[in-house]
Structure 1
Amino acid sequence: MPELPEVETTRRGLEPHVVGRRIREVVVREPRLRWPVPRDLGRKLRGEPVLAIRRRGKYLLFDYPKGHLLVHLGMSGQLTVVPADRPARAHDHVELKLEGTESLRLNDPRRFGAMLWIAGPAERHVLLRNLGVEPFDDAFTGAAMHALARGRRVAVKHFIMNANVVTGVGNIYASEALFRAGIHPLRPAGRISLERWNLLAEAIRATLTRALEAGGSTLRNYVSASGEPGKFQDVTSVYAREGEPCRVCKRPIRAIRQGQRATYYCAGCQT
């Protein structure tokens, strides 16, 4: 699933092509996404300019004068800018034709993505209002996380992946941040000291920053707005490196299952 780095990379790639341009036409080839694409989406967007593109967690918000278009990439979604005369591919479910010669297309083979219209304040929408703090906001600090974790027995990896606590820290980035901070992924969140939470908050920011510089991660079919795959998966310290030597202590990287996800860590470096 595209996480914060992939969604933010997409936003940055779309911005120069989309912001300030009007929508000429909306083509919905398959409305049956995670939630149905609104039947009147074309009527609402036609002729309207895109004022801005924002990100909240894993969601993109396209701001228009009369509302907001909320987009989620789901498990397999891609949002790319292509020449408007390029033939549609399989799974090009929604197309926003921009003024000029380009189109914005949502391709989503598994159809777990979403494209919804929000007429009121976006932050009050049911999908957004309970999201946690953004990792790059000033409010995201070790002290804040330490306070939220007080008394919690849940494993710290699950805790930092909870979107109601902090947004956008997906599986690959949680494993990498915990390694960077030297914290074992099974350690209860409520049994981590303030000092170590400070380290972890900085590690999360540093990991996400490095991922953004690499254009995100392409584990299956993610590509940026220009169609380029991410490269962070090529430089991970622990993720998908089971049995390989730790880059720090040379002990073999271990893998365990937490819930339905694989967790990678170094038993020598993480306690």
Structure 2
Amino acid sequence: MPELPEVEVSRQGISPFMQGHTLHKVVARQRQLRWWIPDEVVDLQNQSILSVTRRAKYLLIELPKGDIILHLGMSGHLKVLPANTPVQKHDHIDFLLSGDKVLRLNDTRRFGAVLWQARGQLHPLLAALGPEPLSDNFNPNHLSQAFAKRRTAVKQVLMDNHVVVGVGNIYANEALFKAGILPTKPANQVSSEQINSLVAEVKLILAAAIKQGGTTLKDFSAVDGKPGYFAQQLLVYGRAGQACVNCQSILSDIKIGQRRTVFCSVCQI
């Protein structure tokens, strides 16, 4: 599944072709994605695009009457193409733009979503989200309060979108390694020093991933068709059974909350 850096890279990629342009028409060849695409989206015509923003892993295309909400799901990706580009398999929805361009959503598994949020309203999927990890609201004090009464494994709490949004499996593995925190450690036993380090590492790792174009995933490529490059710098994720880059111990591999978790039992405590 594309994680926050991949979604942010997508936002950066499509924004120049959308913001300040006009959405002329929406063509939905398949309306049944994770949820049914609502009429409010399909019926849109000749709407000015005010901005393209991101909240967690959701992209929001801001129009005068409301926002189109896009989620890439497990395998979705967006590309801006010439309007006459032939349709390929799994090209489910087109947003026809001024300048003879089209924003096209391709989603093999159809776990993505195209939803609607009327102006002045907040979609239920966005209502209970925690702070953005790169914002000032994600800070040691916030994380300390979130951890204080949680006996759950710290990795699961870090991936809870009510605590902080967008820290998916790849980057949770990496941040916990860099902060020296055992992923199975109960959240309420994480020290203040470790919390300070974890907040800093989450911000550094996500910012670096965004800068480098997102992580290379088999189902993801950036809007320009180029894959991300951050996978070359992953220290633990995908390296189970290999030597730790710090101490040369063999990295362990377990499942926490059904998600693969790789860590160093020596460096992480």
Tell me the TM-score normalised to structure 2 length: 0.97
Q: CA RMSD in A?
A: 1.1
Give the deviation of 1:234 after TM superposition.
2.0
Q: Quick one: structure 1 residues 26 and 241, their matched pair in 2 at CA, closer, same or farther if it must change by over 3 Å?
A: same
Residue-by-residue CA offset, 1:134-175 (whole Å, 9 max, x unaligned): 111111111210111112100000000001110000000000
Post-superposition Cα deviations, 1:195-250, rounded to whole Å, max 9, x if no partner, equal 21010000111111111122111222111122221122221000000111111111
Report if the CA contact (8 A) 2:2-2:217 is conserved: no
> How far apart are residue 121 of structure 1 and its match?
2.9
Mapped to 2, the partners of 1:24 and 1:120 lie a distance apart of 19
Q: Does 1:172 align with 2:165?
A: no
In structure 2, how many angstroms separate the alpha carbons of the residues matched to 1:230 and 1:63?
A: 26
2-structure distance, mates of 1:151, 1:115: 36
Give the drift of 1:41: 2.4
Going from structure 1 to structure 2, the CA distance change for 1:152 and 1:40 (only over 3 Å counts) comes to: closer
Query: What secondary structure sits across from 2:175 in the alignment?
Result: helix
2:121 corresponds to 1:119: no
3-state secondary structure, aligned to 2:47: coil
Q: Which residue of 1 aligns with 2:9?
A: 9
Q: Report the counterpart of residue 22 of structure 1 in structure 2.
A: 22
d(CA) in 1 for partners of 2:204 and 2:264? Answer: 19
Whole-angstrom distance in 1 between the partners of 2:207 and 2:117: 30
Q: Distance in 2 between matches of 1:204 and 1:173?
A: 7
Determine which of 126, 129, 151 is the counterpart of 1:128: 126
Output one character per residue of 1:25-66: Cα deviation in whole Å (capped at 9) or x when no partner. 2111100101111235243x2110110011000101110011
List runs of 5+ in structure 2 lacking aligned partners. none
Partner of 2:85: 86
TM-score (norm 1): 0.96
Distance in 1 separating the partners of 2:40 and 2:58: 21
Give me the whole-angstrom Cα distance separating, in 2, the residues matched to 1:42 and 1:158.
37
Question: Contact 1:143–1:194 (CA<8 Å) still a contact in 2?
Answer: no
2:139 corresponds in structure 1 to 141
Q: Which residue among 251, 254, 257 is the counterpart of 2:252?
A: 254
- Corresponding letter in the other structure for 1:157: K
What amino acid is the match of 1:182?
A: G
Measured in 1, the distance between the counterparts of 2:85 and 2:129 equals 37
Moved over 4 A (4+): none
Distance 2:35 2:8 in 1: 22
Query: Contact 2:237/2:262 (CA < 8 Å) preserved in 1?
Result: yes
Identity of aligned residues (%): 45
Give, in whole Å, the separation in 2 of the partners of 1:260 and 1:40. Answer: 36
Number of residue pairs matched?
Answer: 269
Letter in 1 for 2:51: A
Q: CA deviation at 1:179?
A: 0.5
